[in-house]
Amino acid sequence: MKTLFLTNEYPPTIYGGAGVHVDYLSRELAKLMEVEVRCFGADKRESRLASQHLVATGFGASTAEYGAPKHLQGVFSALQRCLDWNSTGIDADVVHLHTWYTHLGGILAKLNYGIPLVLTVHSLEPLRPWKREQIQGGYDFSCWVERTAIEMADGVVAVSEDTKADILRLFSVPESKIHVIHNGIDLDEFQKGGGLDVLEKYGIDSRKPFVLFVGRITRQKGIIHLANAIRHMSRDFQVVLCAGAPDTPEIALEMKRSVDAAQALHGSVVWVEKMVPKQDLIKLYSLAEAFCCPSVYEPFGIINLEAMACQTPVVASAVGGIKEVVVDGDTGFLVPLSLKGGTFEPLDADAFERNLAGKVNQIMADDALRSRMATSGRKRVEDHFSWAAIAARTRAMYEQLISEHQKAK
């Protein structure tokens, strides 16, 4: 049996949870079956043999002769890759899609090559309306192609029960086609440990404890709310924001203004304006006293698993799949978040920001609480979120769908 992964993100280019998912799941699945990955890459196509059963190929797309507006060029270059993935030829038994950038490619593979289509929902376009800021009319296309792919898929993977509920609410999909398979973590790679050298590298004071944030500068991650919450945090600790890759120039400017204001009031804010390499990130997780995830939309939230695996308590908004990862009062704190109807703006932003800061302050002030939560967090990750178990469930789903497909012929 062979699966074909279609994905935007793949090493060395990973900037979000979907890319982390593809990286680890493809490697773990390759221990059980043949895996081919076709991904976005350089203009020159390159093949890379990652293992005997895993082959990855990057596909480029030149925008040099595009006459389309700049904000649409990424949309059309994604569609060009979707065509190239298919015209190259496909010999897999099942095609597995990751993010809307790949959905047209999967539709073409299902219709032209007659193979089952599986789609993992890492996020849903109707629940990310701020993307219109980024790609304008392209957002209408991404919503359409996502709906088309989800509703014609043979199997839909939801990364949380909350995501499954969103799929059932927003799309015409039989519940029997939806498989809840959580994201996972590499327990050997993500574990507590790290030298203090990483603190000096990023300008963090080794003499003062810190709370950590890691994520892209996007509406979804709630980073502006965290920046606003800093004014309510104790000055006894630092706030370290590893936040880069802004979605738009507008949110980049908003972030700068919010961080500047927070720094003026708090005095100990360190902003690392880039995506931090994984090995440095593991050290920062390990050295932080607490981790904060203020997302307003989060289908799962791998970053919380990463922090918990490194024995760091988590303060996170009680949204989406986060509620299935963080156990309130045991592995960290969940902060209630009510949103305005039809939007992803908090009903009371000031109250949310104050509550977020209050829970961070509570953890940072209580050594015994941090120690207990650190132990509980690591145990929860070990018990429930290994990639080996997730790969086994994914392979079993493929077998079922392929069998059903053959019987229907």
Could you report the per-residue pLDDT of 223-246, keeping only the tens digit for each? 999 999 999 999 999 999 999 988
E-strand stretches of 273-371: 290-293, 314-317, 332-335
Closest CA relative to residue 160, chosen from 21, 10, 336: 21
Q: Domain 2-184+386-408 belongs to what topology?
A: Rossmann fold (3.40.50)
Query: Phi, psi at residue 400, to the nearest 5°?
Result: -65, -45
CB contact at 8 A, 384 and 167: no
What pTM, to 2 d.p., does this model score? Answer: 0.83
Continuous segment of H or E residues that includes residue 98 = strand 94-98
Tokens 């919503």 found at: 143
**Cα 235 from Cα 205, distance rounded (Å):** 13
CA 327 to chain centre: 19
- What CATH architecture does domain 197-384 belong to? 3-Layer(aba) Sandwich (3.40)
Structure tokens at 18: 């979907």
Closest CA relative to residue 123, chosen from 19, 225, 41: 19
In angstroms, what CA-CA distances link 303 with 182, 201, 313? 13, 22, 12
Q: Where are the domains of the chain?
A: 2-184+386-408, 197-384
Structure tokens at 364: 């940072």
CB contact at 8 A, 151 and 124: no
Could you report the per-residue pLDDT of 141-171, keeping only the tens digit for each? 999 999 999 999 999 999 999 999 999 999 9
Closest CA relative to residue 240, chosen from 296, 278, 198, 300: 198
**Cα 180 from Cα 11, distance rounded (Å):** 25
Predicted pLDDT at 45: 41
**Cα 301 from Cα 17, distance rounded (Å):** 7
**Cα 26 from Cα 391, distance rounded (Å):** 8
b/e map 98-121, b = 16+ CB within 10 Å:
bbbbbbbbbbbbbeeeebbbbbbb
**Cα 306 from Cα 317, distance rounded (Å):** 16
Q: Give burial (CB, 10 Å; 0-12/13-18/19+) of 49.
A: exposed
Give the helix ranges, DSSP H, for 92-222. 103-113, 132-135, 138-152, 161-170, 197-201
Predicted pLDDT at 46: 43
User: How many Å is the Cα radius of gyration of the chain?
Assistant: 21
Continuous segment of H or E residues that includes residue 266 = helix 249-266
Tokens 């967090």 found at: 377
Tokens 């738009």 found at: 248
Continuous segment of H or E residues that includes residue 298 = none
Low-confidence spans in the chain with pLDDT less than 70: 43-52
Predicted pLDDT at 51: 55
Predicted pLDDT at 44: 40
CB contact at 8 A, 298 and 179: no
Closest CA relative to residue 192, chosen from 106, 115, 288: 288
CB contact at 8 A, 105 and 97: yes
Predicted pLDDT at 123: 92
